[in-house]
C-alpha cells in the first residue's frame, strides 16, 4: 500500500473507497497496484485418496452415477428426494455440474456426496446412518476484484474482436452487447477510432481467477455521441443500469432485435424497391440473417396481428403501449404459441427469419410505429422503462462521480484492481 500512496491522491482514494463500498455493497475496498497473484490451481473440493470427482456428462443420471459408486437403491432414492426437497435440485446439468464422492478410507463405502453446481455453491449430503442422509448447502466465499479494460476499434474490427484484443472476456462482451443494444447498432455504428471501456468484476478463489461477475460501467464513443452506462443500487435495494443522466438503460424497445445482424437496407421513404423497381417508401430496417434465425420481440407487448400478405409475407405485429407498435416481416414461420392476443415478453422468440413475400433473400424487415406513424428504428428516441426520481437521481450523480474517478485511476494504472 506504500506504493499506492505514492501514486494516488489519498483524498481521492478515500472518496473512491467510500463511494464504491456504499453502492457496490462491498464490506471493504482496497486499491492494489500489483497484478493478481495466480495460484497453481483452483480448489473445488477436498483432495485425498478417499475422494473421487465425476464431471456430469450428457446422458448421465443421478441414479447411474450413484449406483456406479456402490450406493444402494434405497440410498439413491433418499438422496434424490433430499436434493429436491432441501436444495431444489431435481436434474443434473451436463458439462457443468460435478459430484464428489467421499469415503473415510479407500475401501469404505461412500459416506458423503457433494454436488457442485457452481464454483461458489456446494450441496453436501452426509449419511447419518440407517439409510438417512442430511443435506447442507455451503456457499463458497469468493475474492471479487473490480477491473477496467479499454480499447479502440481498428479498421475492419467488430466490437467483439476489438474487445477481446483489449482483454475483455467473451461473456462480458456479450453482456455489453445486450446492455447497449437499446442505444446503438453494433453492426452499423462501428467505426475505426472509436474508443470504449468496461469496468467489471472478476471472481477469484485461493488466488486464482475462477469466473467473471457483473458489468459495473460501460462507455462507448458511438456515432450519436459518447454512451455511458452505470450499474446502480437504489435505496430499496433494487439494481439497474442507467445512463449518465440517470435515465434507465433498458428501454421499452430494442433498435436491433437480432444482435450482430447486418443492416442491408435502411429506413428510407424514397427508396427504389428491389423487386418492384420503382420508388416506394421503405418504412423499416432490413437485417440480414440466415433462414431459421430466431426473431425476438423488441419489447414486451400484445400480438395484434399474425398473418400473411403479398408484401410482408409472414409477419407479426406487436402493440407495446398506447404509442408504440413494432412489425416483423418475411418470416419463414411463426413461433409456436404466438397468436393474436398473446402477451409476449421482451426477447421472446416470435418467429424465424425467412424470405416470404416480396423479398430477395432471407432477412428480417423491422418497423417501429409511433402514434400511427412509421419512424426510423435507428434514430427514434426510445422511452426508458425506469428512470430515477429526484432523490435517487441525486444519489446516482454522486455515485457516478465516484465511479468515474475510480475509472480514471484504473485507466492510468492498468495493473491496478479494486478488491471487494
Who has greater pLDDT, 185 or 96? 96
Burial (CB count <10 Å: 0-12, 13-18, 19+), residue 322:
exposed
* Strongest mean pLDDT among 169-173, 241-245, 261-265: 169-173
pLDDT in tens, 304-336: 999 999 999 999 999 987 788 999 999 999 999
Report the distance separating Cα 169 and Cα 152, nearest Å. Answer: 16
Mean pLDDT of 339-347: 90
Which range, of 33-47, 192-206, 263-277, 382-396, averages the lowest pLDDT?
A: 33-47
Query: What domains does the chain contain, in order, with CATH numbers?
Result: 51-139 (3.10.450.350), 147-250+387-419 (3.10.450.350), 262-375 (2.70.70.10)
The closest of 362, 333, 325, 369 to 349, measured between CA atoms, is: 333
pLDDT at 418: 87
Question: Confidence band (pLDDT; 50, 70, 90) for 276?
Answer: very low
Contacts for 227 with CB less than 8 Å, ≥ 6 apart: 180, 183, 184, 218, 219, 220, 221, 243
- Decide: pTM greater than 0.75: no
Is the pLDDT reported for residue 112 higher than 60?
yes
Question: Confidence band (pLDDT; 50, 70, 90) for 214?
Answer: very high
pLDDT at 278: 45
Mean pLDDT of 213-229: 90
Is the pLDDT reported for residue 14 higher than 70?
no
Mean pLDDT of 59-84: 93
Is the pLDDT reported for residue 8 higher than 70?
no
Is the pLDDT reported for residue 420 higher than 90?
no
188 secondary structure, DSSP code? T
Is the pLDDT reported for residue 143 higher than 70?
yes
Is the pLDDT reported for residue 281 higher than 80?
no
Q: Look at the block and give the residue holding cell 466465499.
A: 141
Contacts for 379 with CB less than 8 Å, ≥ 6 apart: 267
64 to each of 97, 115, 132, how far by Cα in Å? 15, 14, 20
Contacts for 368 with CB less than 8 Å, ≥ 6 apart: 253, 284, 298, 324, 325, 326, 374, 375, 376, 377, 380
What distance lies between CA 47 and its chain's CA centroid?
Answer: 33
Residue 379 near residue 286, CB atoms below 8 Å = no
pLDDT at 271: 53
Mean pLDDT across the chain: 83
419 secondary structure, DSSP code? E
How many CB atoms are located within 10 Å of the residue 309 CB? 13
Mean pLDDT of 142-149: 94
pLDDT at 270: 61
pLDDT at 99: 95
362 secondary structure, DSSP code? S
Report the distance separating Cα 390 and Cα 420, nearest Å. Answer: 29
**What is the percent of the chain with per-residue pLDDT over 90, rounded to a whole number?**
55
What distance lies between CA 250 and its chain's CA centroid?
Answer: 13
Tally of CA atoms within 13 A in the half-sphere of 114 that contains its CB: 19
246 secondary structure, DSSP code? S
Question: Confidence band (pLDDT; 50, 70, 90) for 135?
Answer: very high
Mean pLDDT of 7-26: 43
Q: For 75, phi and psi rounded to 5 degrees?
A: -60, -45
The closest of 1, 7, 5 to 413, measured between CA atoms, is: 7
Mean pLDDT of 21-28: 40
Give me the helices (H) in 69-187, please: 73-82, 159-165, 170-180
287 secondary structure, DSSP code? E
**What is the percent of the chain with per-residue pLDDT over 70, rounded to a whole number?**
85
91 secondary structure, DSSP code? S
Amino acid at each position: 500500500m506504500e506504493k499506492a500512496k505514492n501514486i494516488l491522491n489519498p483524498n481521492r482514494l478515500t472518496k473512491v473507497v467510500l463511494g464504491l463500498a456504499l453502492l457496490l455493497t462491498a464490506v471493504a475496498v482496497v486499491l492494489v497496484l500489483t497484478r493478481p497473484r495466480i495460484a497453481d490451481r483452483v480448489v473445488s473440493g477436498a483432495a485425498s485418496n478417499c475422494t473421487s470427482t465425476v464431471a456430469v456428462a450428457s446422458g448421465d443420471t443421478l441414479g447411474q452415477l450413484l449406483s456406479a459408486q456402490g450406493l444402494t437403491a434405497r440410498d439413491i432414492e433418499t438422496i434424490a428426494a433430499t436434493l429436491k426437497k432441501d436444495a431444489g435440485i431435481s436434474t443434473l446439468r451436463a458439462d457443468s455440474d460435478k459430484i464428489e464422492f467421499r469415503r473415510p478410507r479407500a475401501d469404505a463405502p461412500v459416506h458423503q456426496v457433494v454436488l457442485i453446481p457452481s464454483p461458489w455453491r456446494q450441496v453436501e449430503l452426509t449419511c447419518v446412518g440407517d439409510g438417512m442422509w442430511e443435506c447442507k448447502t455451503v456457499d463458497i466465499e469468493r475474492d471479487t476484484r473490480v477491473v477496467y479494460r479499454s480499447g479502440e476499434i481498428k479498421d475492419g474490427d467488430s466490437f467483439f474482436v476489438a474487445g477481446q484484443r483489449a482483454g475483455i472476456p467473451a461473456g462480458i462482451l456479450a453482456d455489453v452487447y445486450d446492455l447497449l443494444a437499446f442505444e446503438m447498432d453494433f453492426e452499423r455504428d462501428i467505426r475505426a477510432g472509436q474508443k470504449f471501456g468496461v469496468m467489471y468484476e472478476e471472481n477469484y478463489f485461493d488466488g486464482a481467477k475462477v469466473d467473471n461477475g457483473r458489468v459495473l460501467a460501460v462507455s462507448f464513443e458511438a456515432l450519436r455521441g459518447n454512451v455511458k452506462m452505470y450499474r446502480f443500487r437504489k435505496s430499496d435495494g433494487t439494481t439497474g443500469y442507467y445512463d449518465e443522466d440517470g435515465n434507465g438503460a433498458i428501454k421499452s424497445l430494442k433498435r436491433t432485435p437480432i444482435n450482430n445482424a447486418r443492416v442491408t437496407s435502411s429506413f428510407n421513404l424514397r427508396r427504389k424497391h428491389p423487386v418492384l423497381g420503382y420508388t416506394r417508401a421503405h418504412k423499416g430496417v432490413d437485417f440480414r440473417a440466415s433462414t431459421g434465425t430466431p426473431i425476438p420481440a423488441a419489447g414486451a407487448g400484445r400480438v395484434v396481428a399474425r398473418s400473411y400478405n403479398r408484401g410482408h409475407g409472414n409477419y407479426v405485429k406487436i402493440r407495446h403501449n398506447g404509442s408504440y407498435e413494432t412489425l416483423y416481416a418475411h418470416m419463414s414461420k411463426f413461433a409456436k404459441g404466438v397468436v393474436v392476443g398473446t402477451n409476449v415478453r421482451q426477447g421472446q422468440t416470435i418467429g424465424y427469419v425467412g424470405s416470404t413475400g416480396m423479398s430477395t433473400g432471407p432477412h428480417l424487415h423491422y418497423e417501429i410505429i409511433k402514434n400511427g406513424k412509421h419512424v426510423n428504428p435507428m434514430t427514434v428516441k426510445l422511452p426508458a422503462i425506469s428512470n430515477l426520481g429526484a432523490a435517487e437521481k441525486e444519489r446516482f450523480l454522486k455515485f457516478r462521480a465516484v465511479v468515474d474517478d475510480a475509472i480514471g485511476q484504473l485507466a492510468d494504472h492498468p495493473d491496478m484492481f479494486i478488491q471487494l
